[in-house]
């Protein structure tokens, strides 16, 4: 509707392209998201734009956005069209930006050799042309690629390689990528501090999502009681802003992040969709199967038994459970007995693992898992 009001003449395609380009840029800069419906419609009209530079400028912004969102087919089409225009009109400066989009596509898909191949070419072009923004993008993407591969120390070192001046949004992205590398390296305090600095620098999309993912990774790694809430918040940020690449990088660096979200009925379906986009479904297949089995076991309990089991999972003895629920301690024992029987388990610890993740303390669950694995 807003586009129609600003451009009542449907034949003003160039004006529409300029407007939507600016809107996409502002969405990225300020961490907002207006959806891709209008940009996709405009992209289909680019053949009516005579100026190849204007076409390429739009594609560059749009290509980054759809690649980050995990729309791989659309992003590949953008790269193909960019390279065709660059070749036809000898727009050499367009090629490195198309290669950056290709690198993002490869990063989403976990094709790490292709990521490094693309960004190495971009880095050479950036140095040859004195383009600091290109080089900063290379450092940021290479940092996240190293995180996704589990090379956390190398990722931290890579993130420190850039010391020049950049835009606030690029600075925030660099800092947020570094914070994620620090979180995966168990440098929790420094990771949180760096994530905070990223948000202070900018409200840009990548900084928001990567910083939220950093806080989730730290909470999970430390076993904080709000780990699920942190993970859920980071995931919602990635979905709302359609910036899946940063989140995919985070869960590849810290698989427990994906496992936590797959084990909760609240987030499982959305998380399945994301890991399917990234081609990681098989890697987490066992987690999904076990979670569905646990859901069935949980649903067989009565509401009161579920209340009791949540308190058991959070480490409360029968006496405390009785006080919390205003029932006799003997009644708690009866409930626990029924719970064990219905779940087909022998211990309170094993029963606690049947509680959905969004209802329990991650620290208590970690202790429970350790007790089962190391009796």
Q: Is the pLDDT of residue 354 over 80?
A: no
Residue-wise pLDDT for 153-203, tens only, equals: 999 999 999 888 899 999 999 999 999 999 999 999 999 999 999 999 999
Q: Is the pLDDT of residue 1 over 60?
A: no
Residue that is last in its domain, among 98, 130, 162? 130
CB atoms within 10 A of CB 272: 15
Q: Is the pLDDT of residue 226 over 60?
A: yes
Tell whether 274 and 312 lie within a shared domain: no
Q: Is residue 141 part of a domain?
A: no
Domain that holds residue 315: 300-375
**Backbone region of residue 49 per phi and psi (left: phi > 0; alpha: psi in -120 to 50; beta: other values):** beta
Q: Is residue 373 part of a domain?
A: yes
Decide: 98 and 86 in contact? Cβ < 8 Å.
Answer: yes
The mean predicted confidence, pLDDT, of the chain is 89
- In this prediction, residues 25-45 reach a mean pLDDT of 93
The CA distance from 261 to 263, in Å, is 5
Predicted local confidence at residue 357, as pLDDT: 65
- In this prediction, residues 310-337 reach a mean pLDDT of 90
Q: Is the dihedral of CA 326, 328, 329, 331 positive or negative?
A: negative
Tell whether 37 and 65 lie within a shared domain: yes
Tell whether 17 and 97 lie within a shared domain: yes
- What are the residues whose beta carbons fall under 8 Å from the beta carbon of 291, sequence distance 6 or more? 262, 263, 264, 265, 268
Q: Is the pLDDT of residue 75 over 60?
A: yes
As to burial, measured by CB atoms within 10 angstroms (0-12 exposed, 13-18 middle, 19+ buried), residue 226 is: middle
- In this prediction, residues 80-85 reach a mean pLDDT of 98
Residue-wise pLDDT for 238-262, tens only, equals: 999 999 999 999 999 999 899 889 9
Side-chain half-sphere CA neighbours of 335 within 13 A? 22
290 — pLDDT class (breaks 50, 70, 90): confident
Q: Report H helices in 279-328.
A: 285-299, 303-313, 318-325
Q: Which residue has the higher pLDDT, 11 or 111?
A: 111
Q: Is the pLDDT of residue 217 over 90?
A: yes
- In this prediction, residues 340-345 reach a mean pLDDT of 87
344 — pLDDT class (breaks 50, 70, 90): confident
Q: Is the pLDDT of residue 98 over 80?
A: yes
Decide: 291 and 269 in contact? Cβ < 8 Å.
Answer: no
C-alpha Rg value of the chain to the nearest Å: 24
Predicted local confidence at residue 8, as pLDDT: 37
Q: Is the pLDDT of residue 359 over 70?
A: no
Q: Is residue 135 part of a domain?
A: no
Q: What are the Cα distances from residue 26, in Å, to 22, 23, 131, 203?
A: 6, 5, 22, 10
Tell whether 33 and 117 lie within a shared domain: yes
Predicted local confidence at residue 163, as pLDDT: 85
Q: Which residue has the higher pLDDT, 315 or 331?
A: 331
Chain-centre distance for alpha carbon 203 = 16
Of the candidate ranges 29-33, 311-315, 351-355, the one whose mean pLDDT is the lowest: 351-355
Whether the model clears a pTM of 0.85, i.e. scores above it, the answer is no
Q: How many domains in the chain? A: 3
Q: Would you state the torsion angle of the CA atoms of residues 268, 273, 276, 281, taken in this order, to the nearest 10 degrees?
A: 10
DSSP 173-211: HHHHHHHHHHHHTT-HHHHHHHHHHHHHH---HHHHHHH
CATH for 16: 1.25.40
Q: Is residue 203 part of a domain?
A: yes
Q: Is residue 358 part of a domain?
A: yes
DSSP 8-state code for residue 164: S
Q: Is the pLDDT of residue 298 over 60?
A: yes
- Which token pair is 16? 């529409």
As to burial, measured by CB atoms within 10 angstroms (0-12 exposed, 13-18 middle, 19+ buried), residue 208 is: buried
């Amino acid at each position: 509707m807003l586009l129609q009001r600003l451009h009542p003449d449907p034949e003003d395609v160039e004006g529409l392209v300029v407007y939507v380009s600016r809107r996409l840029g502002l969405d990225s800069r300020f961490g907002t998201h207006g959806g891709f419906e209008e940009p996709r419609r405009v992209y289909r009209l680019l053949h009516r734009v005579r100026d190849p530079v204007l076409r390429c400028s739009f594609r560059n912004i749009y290509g980054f956005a759809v690649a980050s969102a995990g729309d791989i087919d659309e992003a590949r089409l953008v790269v193909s069209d960019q390279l065709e225009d660059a070749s036809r009109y000898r727009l050499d400066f367009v090629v490195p930006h198309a290669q950056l989009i290709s690198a993002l596509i490869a990063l989403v898909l976990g094709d790490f050799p292709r990521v490094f191949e693309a960004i190495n070419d971009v880095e050479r072009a950036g140095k040859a042309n004195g383009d600091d923004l290109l080089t900063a993008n290379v450092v940021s993407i290479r940092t996240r690629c190293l995180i996704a591969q589990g090379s956390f120390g190398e990722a931290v070192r890579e993130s420190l390689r850039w010391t020049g001046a950049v835009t606030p949004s690029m600075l925030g992205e660099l800092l947020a990528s570094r914070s994620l590398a620090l979180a995966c390296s168990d440098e929790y305090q420094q990771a949180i501090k760096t994530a905070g600095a990223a948000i202070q620098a900018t409200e840009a999309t990548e900084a928001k999502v990567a910083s939220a993912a950093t806080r989730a990774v730290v909470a999970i790694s430390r076993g904080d009681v709000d780990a699920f809430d942190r993970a859920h918040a980071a995931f919602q940020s990635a979905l709302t802003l359609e910036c899946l690449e940063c989140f995919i990088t985070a869960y590849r660096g810290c698989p427990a992040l994906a496992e936590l979200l797959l084990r909760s009925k609240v987030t499982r379906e959305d998380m399945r969709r994301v890991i399917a986009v990234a081609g990681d479904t098989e890697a987490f297949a066992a987690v999904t199967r076990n979670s569905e089995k646990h859901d069935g076991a949980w649903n067989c309990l009565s509401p009161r038994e579920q209340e009791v089991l949540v308190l058991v999972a959070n480490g409360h003895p029968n006496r405390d459970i009785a006080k919390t629920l205003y029932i006799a301690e003997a009644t708690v024992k009866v409930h626990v007995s029924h719970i064990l029987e219905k779940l087909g388990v022998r211990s309170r610890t094993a029963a606690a693992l049947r509680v959905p993740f969004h209802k329990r303390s991650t620290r208590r669950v970690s202790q429970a898992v350790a007790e089962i694995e190391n009796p």
